[in-house]
Structure formats: structure tokens, C-alpha cells
Amino acid sequence: MSDADTFAFIIHPIDPKSDVARKYPLLGKVLSEGQINFFSRFFPPVYISEISGMRSAATGREARGWFIACPFTPKTMLSLPVETVYRKIVACGHMAERLGARILGLGAYTSVVGDAGETIARRLSIPVTTGDAYTVYMAVAAVREAAHRMGLSMDESTAAVVGATGVIGRVCAQILAREVPELILIGRRPEMLAEVHAQCSGQRARVRSGTDLNALGEADLVLTVTSATTAVIEPEHLKPGAVVCDVARPRDVARRVAEVRDDVLVIDGGMVEVPGPVDFGFDFGFPPGKAYACMAETMALALEGRYEDYSVGKQITLAQVEEIGVIAARHGFRLSGFRSFERVVIDAQIAAVRERARRA
């Protein structure tokens, strides 16, 4: 194994037809979504590209990596026995080991299957991270920045976390409980909601919790991060002027929100600018030089030389979130604009949303 700073990151098709078409244009065109879901069960791991040009702002040291695709879609992962999914992800990990990667990042649904990376980590000889800690860090940073641009003060806003009982939602809720006066927690399991409610209580926010999405009608700021395979937030759930940060993949916010609610600002979990003239060798839908936070965590750990399991399991701590924020900032990773439904959000759009919300 080389002593160079190296990593690998597992991606997988989320929107089956369009994502498959990024690598195999003909297959994406001729196969139906159902056919892709079926045939993906029999595909081996797929080498996607080499990642080069990433350079630490602190040390000048470079790292290189690789994208590897797990062929399963979210629906396939949910329909198969968890052991079958584990074996496929571990096979991707073995490909990463052969390439020379010294740490492996689990992207999207590969990070939530079963025990959130613990089994995968035990079965591989290289460490693993889900990227969840930096995803939390950047999601909250994106909410703060979007609120500022919409003229909303965190000190006076009601925030809501949808999927508050999940790995990411739970920690996001704890951070927001320190910063807003009102916090609404929404989840599907009341007993787990009660646990998160207790963790958030005693901070600045008055905390409420429940299972009804209609409570979002009171929220100025919404952070949503469920593990649903279809959208859960519809246009009628949101108040005019709301900021909605959708961290989930597949996304939680219905596309219809963008089509009929021009008085709310919907953003993805925040784009991260990667330090150095990085070349991903593959178009995963972001502008050049930008990455998802979960990808950035894997890269930052490689630049830091932290070759150990990091965001693994279902309990991410505030200390981990704060630590990875410091590590990533030192190497030059930072929040870099917003995206919404595959499009970059520009300042003029935000100003237009603010004006329409004011009229409403």
C-alpha cells in the first residue's frame, strides 16, 4: 500500500435513468427504471473515475482518489436482504483497496444501510466514513447562510427538522436548539422522537415534536433529512418565505414545490468548494470544483492523514461535527453557494423569492 494520501468514494444511482446515463448513455436511454432496478442486482462494482488535483490550503499536500459505483438503486437496496447489500458494498471496498485507497467514503444510501457502515468497516482492511459529521456541519452552515440571504434572523426564527430521529437529523436538531427560539422536531417514531426531544431540551429553543408534517406551516427554517425513497414535503406544507434545506438523497422535497411555490427558497444541503484544481473525472451533477459534504469529509480526512473509521454507526457526536469542521476549514474546504433541483441558485433568485414572500 502506498503512503500517499488516497481515498475512494462510493456513489450509486439515485435517479436511475439519468444517473446511469451519466456513465452509460445508451443504457440510460433504452432501459426503463424498472429494468435498471432489476438488472442492477447482477452488476458488479463499477470503476467510475480517478480524482486528481485536490490540494490542501494548509500544507500544499495533494491527495488523489477514485469514484466507485455500487450499482444498486435505493429501491433495490431496500428490497434486498441487508446481507446481500453488505456484500455488494464490501466488494466496492475491495476494489478501493486494490486501487490503493487508504480510506473509503460511503455515499448516499450506502451510508445508511443496516448499521450505518459498522459492518462494512469490520469487513474491510481500510477505514470507513459515511461523511455524516461534515454533512451535519455543512447543512447547518447552509441554513444559517440561506436565512441571512433571505433576511431571516436565527435569533427570531422557528426552525424544524424533518427526520429528526435519524443519524444526521438528530445532531442537526441539537445544534439548532442552541440557536433558535422555537424548534419543531418531526419524525415517524414517537418513542425515538421523545429521546431527541430530551436531547434538545434545556438549550435556547422551546422544543415541540410530532409526526405531522403540517406543523411545517409554522417554520421559517426547515432542515429535512429523512431516509424516504420518495418526496415527503409538498407545497401545502410550507409557509411563504420559508427556507428549506434538503439534505436527503433521494430528495425529501417534491419537485412540485419548485414548480408552484415561488415564495419559498429550497436548497440542497450546501455545495462544498474543494481546495486545489480538482478534477473529478466524472460529472455527478455539480459545477467544477464542488462536492457534496459527505465526499468532502472523506477527502479532508485523507489530507489530514486521519486514516481511521470516522462517521460510522448511528451515533454521530457534536464533538465529531465540530472537529471535522475545523479539519476541513484548515485544508480549504468551505461552503460555496446553493443548488436547488440540479440548478445553481443565484442572488437574483433569492431576492425574487424574498419579494414574493413579502407580498404573500
Three-state secondary structure call for residue 96: helix
Given this model, what pLDDT does residue 2 score?
45
pLDDT, tens digit (0-9, with 9 covering 90-100), for 148-183: 999 999 999 999 999 999 999 999 999 999 999 999
Distance CA 204, CA 185 (A): 15
CATH 3.20.170 for domain 5-132+274-313, yes or no, is no
Residue 281 DSSP code: S
Distance CA 95, CA 2 (A): 15
C-alpha cell at 263: 415564495
Given this model, what pLDDT does residue 128 score?
98
Taking every pair of Cα atoms in the chain, the longest distance, rounded to a whole number of angstroms, is 61
Three-state secondary structure call for residue 160: strand
Given this model, what pLDDT does residue 107 score?
94
Given this model, what pLDDT does residue 238 score?
98
Q: Which helix (H) or strand (E) holds 106?
A: strand 104-106
Distance of CA 212 to CAs 169, 206, 231, 359, Å?
A: 16, 18, 15, 28
Buried b (16+ CB within 10 A) or exposed e, 266-295: bbbbbbbbbbbebebebebebeebbbbbbb
Type of residue found at 332: G
DSSP track, 200-228: HTTSSSEEEEES-GGGGGG-SEEEE----
Radius of gyration of the chain, Cα coordinates, nearest whole angstrom: 20
Residue 233 DSSP code: B
pLDDT, tens digit (0-9, with 9 covering 90-100), for 323-344: 999 999 999 999 998 999 888 8
Given this model, what pLDDT does residue 3 score?
61
Given this model, what pLDDT does residue 1 score?
37
pTM of the complete model: 0.93
C-alpha cell at 66: 477514485
Ranges of residues in the chain with a pLDDT under 70 are 1-3
Looking at domain 134-270+338-359, what is its CATH homologous superfamily?
Answer: NAD(P)-binding Rossmann-like Domain (3.40.50.720)
Q: Where are the domains of the chain?
A: 5-132+274-313, 134-270+338-359
Please name which of 327, 323, 348 lies closest in space to residue 338, comparing C-alpha atoms: 348
> How many residues does this entry show for the chain?
360
- Identical fold, 5-132+274-313 and 134-270+338-359: yes
